[in-house]
Amino acid sequence: VAEGEPGEGREPFELPRFWDALGQTFQVTSQEATKLSLAFSRPPLPSAEDCQKLSEDVQNAILSVATVYYWLPKGQGTTLRKMVRDATTEVVEGMIQLTDTILNAPVESLSQEQLISTGGVWEACEQVSNLPRDNQAAVVSALAACLGVVKDAVEEMEHALVEGQDPYGDIMEDEELGFRGNRDTYWSEADRQLLSSCMGLMKASKACLKKVLAAVKAHGKADSPEQIAQLDDLADIANEISPSVDELALSMYPPVNPLAVRLNAAKLASVLKKVLEIAKTSHVCPPSEEGWVQFLTGAVDHNMNKVKNFTQGQL
């Protein structure tokens, strides 16, 4: 589904009316998928006239879904709009898959593929009830997803760094892979000192997302264009944290290249500083929230300086 803006001459946009209309079009699409699937579930085939009517009804349902999506202006929030677009795209793609399945399957009985495809459209259409209702809720959802991914990455690396742990132990059991005493599969003491500072940055990433998420939940609003834009800025920069954490984590596995670790640590530190700066200057951070912003900024600087010190003589 391409980007678009509401047409001119339309009545002023109202979110409640939009959600009512979107829910209705998703429901109609689900019903049309059921009708289409039942019509081709057993012989005899529908007549040419019935096929024409079925295809027109399916097409009209999909066009209605897309049309209502286009009613949602970017001014309501790009984070919200992306989530609605993804849900809309899933409905359209589900209907395409169902149609392809019907076209390619012999009409003897209801095939397993047809059942799965029909269920896929139903599930996609039911998603509308779980979508966030405004940009504040959309950004809360986006931040929570980022936090989940970063938590997993931190736990995985903490597990690998346990004293004496062989990071490749679970994949180096095969004798054909050679002698597992190879130094390239273990961390030296110097490596561990460097990586402890990297873990400090990764934990700061998790803490940063937790605090920003709590602040958006407590203080975030989507009542004005400025508030909506600030929330989108937070979501956009927070989306960069997880890939940056992953890149740093990958560079931490032996054999450790100090330059790669330092570059990835610097990239993550830069992203975290941006998140904290954007949060600090937005409406989600009243004076009561400034303490943790200052603390986490200090934590990022402290760990990044330690990474620089540990790699100074190794570059």
Residues 181-212: tens digit of each pLDDT: 555 668 888 899 999 999 999 999 999 999 99
Query: Domains of the chain: which residue ranges?
Result: 15-129, 135-167+175-311
Indicate whether 172 pLDDT > 60.
no
State how far the alpha carbon of 228 is from the alpha carbons of 84, 137, 243, in Å.
16, 11, 25
Indicate whether 179 pLDDT > 50.
no
- Determine the distance from the C-alpha atom of residue 209 to the mean position of all C-alpha atoms in its chain, rounded to a whole number: 14
What's the pTM? 0.87
- The Cα 107–Cα 145 span in angstroms is 42
* 15-129 classified as CATH 1.20.1420.10: yes
Averaged pLDDT, 137-154: 97
Indicate whether 101 pLDDT > 80.
yes
Averaged pLDDT, 55-83: 97
Is 169 in contact with 228 (CB distance < 8 Å)? no
Nearest to 286 by CA among 237, 178, 183, 214: 214
How much is the mean pLDDT over the chain?
90
- The Cα 86–Cα 82 span in angstroms is 6
- The Cα 270–Cα 61 span in angstroms is 46
The sign one gets for the Cα dihedral 213, 208, 271, 288 is positive
Tokens linked to 78: 């790009």
Pick the CATH number of 135-167+175-311 from 3.50.30.10, 1.20.190.20, 1.20.1410.10, 1.25.40.10: 1.20.1410.10
